[in-house]
Structure 1
C-alpha cells in the first residue's frame, strides 16, 4: 500500500523536472524561429520612405511681440511753493489744454514782498546813479557797493515775481487729467502733487524684441498690433533701444500710433506684429523635423537615392504646418520614415502622390525593404507621433 504513493510522488517529481527543463530550452528554440529585428538588417538594404517634392515659395516673416500701450506723455505736476489751495478741483478725466490753470495757491504776503523788493530796487538804483555821477570824487569802494546793492535789489524783485508766478500751477501740454487736482483748502508743500496729466495722441505701443532678431528692425519700419479688445491699429517704429535689458536680454521697441479720439487707453495689452522682408521657405508638416547626432534641428531629404540631413530654421508657423528656411529651391523631403534612416542610408522612395493614390495600399510601409532570396524581416515600428501621408490637393 505504501509503494503506490511513493511511486506516484516519483512520477510527479519526474514530470515537474521535465517541464522546468522544457521551459529553459523553449525561449532559445523560439528565438531561433523569430525573424531578425529591423535594426539587424544589412546596412546596404534600402529603407522604404515616403517623400514629398517641395518647392520653395516667398513667405513674409513677421516678428510677434507681447506688449502694451503707453501714454505718449505722462507727468505728475508738482507744486514749487507752499500755500493753501484756493481753486476748486478739476475732476479726473477732464480735458485740459496747455497753459490751463490746475491749482491756485493763496498768495498771502507775497504781493507785499514784491512791492518791498521793488522799492528797494528803486532806492538802490538812485544810489548807484549818484555814485556814478560823482565819478572820481567818490571812492572806488563806494561805487562798487552801490552797484552790488543794485544787483541784489534786482535779484530780490525777480525772486518775488517768480514766487507769485508759482502760485498758479498750469498744464504743461494738452491732455487729460488722470487724477483729480488738489482739493480746495488743502495745504501744498514744494514737491506735493497737484495733478497727473497724460497725453494719448499719439499713443505708443511698447514691446521687447529678442536679441536674435533685433538686427532685422530699424526706425521708420511699419508695424501693427491687435489690442486686447480686438481692435487693430497700425503705426511706425520710432524708437529701438541700443541697450539690452540685463535680465531678459531683450531690446525695447516703441511704435507710435495715431489716436485722435483718445479711444486707445494707456496700459492695454497688445499683440504687436512687425513684418520683415520676404524670404524663401518651404511649407512642411511639423512632424518632418528631427535632430541629428549634434542636436541640430533639421529635416532629412532624399538625394540620389540616399538620405541626407539638412539643418533648417523655422520662419513662422501656419495652420498647415511650418515655414522652414535652409533647404534648396527644390527639395525631396522625407515626410514618413525619416526617424529610421541616417545619412548615407539607401532609400526605397515612394512619393507622396503615389502614396495617396489608388496604389497606396500596395506601397511598402516605412522600414527596411525585404532583401531578395531571404526571409522577410518585419518593418520597423511606425512612429506613434506620425500621421499617414495625405494626397496632394
Structure 2
C-alpha cells in the first residue's frame, strides 16, 4: 500500500534533479522534439517553398531568452574602514615626589577637577630654611673675598710697574758705568718677584670667583629643595586617586596623585596592514561607544611601525569631550572615512554565482548576448548593494539572470528607474 508514495517521491526527486542540476541537458532534450516538429512543418510546405521566392530567416528562429536589465552608471561611493577600538585619555600622569618629608596638606579626593598649577601635596620644610640661610651666608662671604683679592691684584700690578722702571734704569746705568752690576741684578730679581706676585694675585681672584659660583650653586640647591616641597598639577584634569594623606611620609618617587586629561579624548584602534594605505592623517572619523553614544572626530596619528604580534598599525582619533561624558577605556566601533570608489548600486537579487563559485552579475553585451562579470561588494545599503569591478556604463540583468549562461542571446526589457 505504501509503494505509490515511494514511487511518487522518487519521480519528484528525479524531476527536481533534472530541472535544477541538469537544466541544460533537459532543455536540449526538449529541443529535439521541437526540431522534429519543425522538420515536419518544413516537409509539408516544401512544395510551396520550391515555387515561391526564397524567404529571409526570421529572428524568431533563434532561441532568445527574455530578461529584464538595468542601465547602470558608476558613481563615486563613500567608503570607510571599520575598526574595533577603545577610548583613551589624552594625557595621564602619576605625579610623584622629588624629595622626602611629611605631608602637611589636606588630601584632595579622587574625581575632583584640578587646574594647571594647583597645589596637590605640600611637604614639611623641616631644616631646609636653615640650610638655605647657611648657603646664602656662604655666598655673602665668598662675594666679600672678591674685592680683597682684586685689591691684591691691583697692588701687585703697581709693584710690577715700579720694578720694571727700576730694572730699566739700573740696566742703563750699568751699561754706562754709572751703576754696579750688583744693583742691576737686584732690580732684575725685584722684577721677577713682582711678576710672581701678579700671578698669585690673579689666582686669588679666580679662587674668589669660584667660591662665589660654588656658593650660588649651594643657594640654588637649597631653594630648589624648598620648591620641591610643593607638588602642583602639571595640567588641568581630573584626579584618578586621592592625593597623599596628611601626615604620610613621602620619599623620592612616592605617588602624590594621578591626574588624567579627558578633553579632548582619543579613540585608539589598530588598522590591518591590508587597509593601512587607505587611512590618512586628518581624515574624518566617527565612533559608536558601548553606551550607544555616537561621536565625531579626525585622525591625528597613524603609526609607521606595525605591532610585532598582530601586524597592525595604531591609529588615534581626537574627539571633543567638553562635558567629560566619555570615559577612559570605553569600547568603541570606529569608522574612518577613506577616498571614494567608483561603484554601481544594484539590487541584491542581481548578484549570482558562476560555476566556480565567484560572485558577480550577468550583463548584456553590445551583441545582445549574456555574459558573466565578477564583482566585489563594498557594502550593503537600504537601497541595494554597492559593487565594484564593472565598467562605468553597463546593462545588468536583474530578472532572468539565473536562466542564461555566457553567450546566450537575450531579448532585453529595460527597467524604468524612478530615482
Q: TM-score, normalised by structure 1?
A: 0.70
Distance 1:53 1:60 in 2: 22
SS at match of 2:263: strand
Pair 1:70 & 2:88 matched: yes
Q: For the Cα contact (< 8 Å) 2:70–2:398, is it kept in 1?
A: no
* Counterpart secondary structure, 2:314: strand
Q: Unmatched 5+ residue regions in structure 1?
A: 1-29, 355-390
Which residue is equivalent to 2:160?
none
The 1:66–1:103 alpha-carbon spacing in structure 2 relative to 1, beyond 3 Å, is same
Alpha-carbon distance between aligned partners in 1 of 2:85 and 2:91, rounded to the nearest angstrom: 18
Residues 37 and 217 of structure 1, relative CA distance in 2, 3 Å threshold: closer
Tell me which of 363, 372, 375 is aligned to 1:312: 375
Q: Deviations over 1:362-383 (max 9, x none)?
A: xxxxxxxxxxxxxxxxxxxxxx
- In structure 2, the residue matched to 1:261 is 323
Structure 1 residue 146: deviation in Å? 2.4
Query: What residue number does 1:366 align with?
Result: none
What CA distance in whole angstroms lies between the structure 1 residues aligned with 2:245 and 2:349? Answer: 63
The 1:162–1:349 alpha-carbon spacing in structure 2 relative to 1, beyond 3 Å, is farther
Residue 203 (structure 1) aligns with: 265
Corresponding residue of 1:165? 227
SS at match of 1:233: strand
1-side partners of 2:100 and 2:399: how far apart? 80
1:290 touches 1:339 (CA, 8 Å); kept in 2? no
- Residue 330 of structure 1 is matched in structure 2 by 393
Change over 3 Å in CA distance of 1:291–1:205 after alignment to 2: farther
- Taking the aligned partners of 2:253 and 2:354, their CA distance within structure 1 comes to 62
Over residues 95-116 of structure 1, what are the superposed CA-to-partner deviations in whole Å (9 max), with x where a residue is unaligned? 1111111011121211111111
Separation in 2, partners of 1:292, 1:197: 62
Q: Deviations over 1:256-281 (max 9, x none)?
A: 22222222222222222233344332
Residues 120 and 300 of structure 1: CA distance in aligned 2, closer, same or farther (over 3 Å): same
Cα distance in 2 for residues equivalent to 1:207 and 1:121: 57
1:308 is displaced (CA, Å) by: 3.5
Instruction: Give the distance between the partners of 2:379 and 2:146, measured in 1 at CA.
Output: 81
1:38 Cα offset (Å):
4.4
The residue that corresponds to 2:171 in the other structure is none
How far the C-alpha of 1:143 sits from its partner, in A, is: 3.0
Of 69-78 and 88-97, the range deviating more from structure 2 = 69-78
Distance 1:47 1:61, change over 3 A: farther
TM-score, normalised via structure 2 length: 0.66
Q: How many Å separate the matches in 2 of 1:246 and 1:297? A: 35
What do residues 229-285 of structure 1 show as CA deviations (whole Å, max 9, x unaligned)?
A: 222222222222233333333332222222222222222222222333443322331
How many residues align structurally? 321
**C-alpha distance in 2, partners of 1:54/1:184?**
79
Superposed CA offset, 1:41-63 (max 9, x none): 77xx9896966425134432233
Describe the shift of the 1:240–1:296 C-alpha distance in structure 2 as closer, same or farther (beyond 3 A): farther
1:150 counterpart (189, 197, 212) = 212
Deviation digits for residues 113-134 of structure 1 (CA, Å, limit 9, x no counterpart): 1111111111122223322232
CA distance in 1, matches of 2:146, 2:359: 88
SS for the counterpart of 1:125 is: helix
Task: Report the 3-state secondary structure (helix = DSSP H, G, I; strand = E; otherwise coil) of the residue aligned with 1:60.
Answer: strand
Partner of 2:99: 81
Residue of structure 1 equivalent to 2:249:
187
Secondary structure class of the residue paired with 2:108: coil
How many angstroms does 1:320 deviate by? 5.0
Alignment of 1:266-281 (within 5 A): 266-281=328-343
RMSD: 3.5
Alignment match of 2:140 (pick from 116, 122, 142): 122
How far off is 1:335 after superposition? 5.6
In structure 1, what is the equivalent of residue 289 of structure 2? 227
Equivalent pair of 2:350/2:361 in contact (CA under 8 Å): no
CA distance in 2, matches of 1:241, 1:336: 48
User: Residues 333-358 of structure 1, C-alpha deviation per residue, up to 9 Å, x if partnerless?
Assistant: 4567868877x44355676969xxxx
Q: How does 1:42-81 map to 2 (within 5 A)?
A: 52-56=69-73, 57-81=75-99
CA distance in 2, matches of 1:47, 1:82: 95
Tell me which residue corresponds to 1:107.
Answer: 125
Counterpart of 2:408 in structure 1 is 346
Per the TM alignment, residue 174 of structure 1 is displaced from its structure 2 partner at its CA by 1.0
Distance 2:66 2:309 in 1: 46
Secondary structure of the 2:89 match is: strand
By percentage of residues, which structure has more helix? 2
Q: Partners of 1:37 and 1:279 in 2: how far apart? A: 40
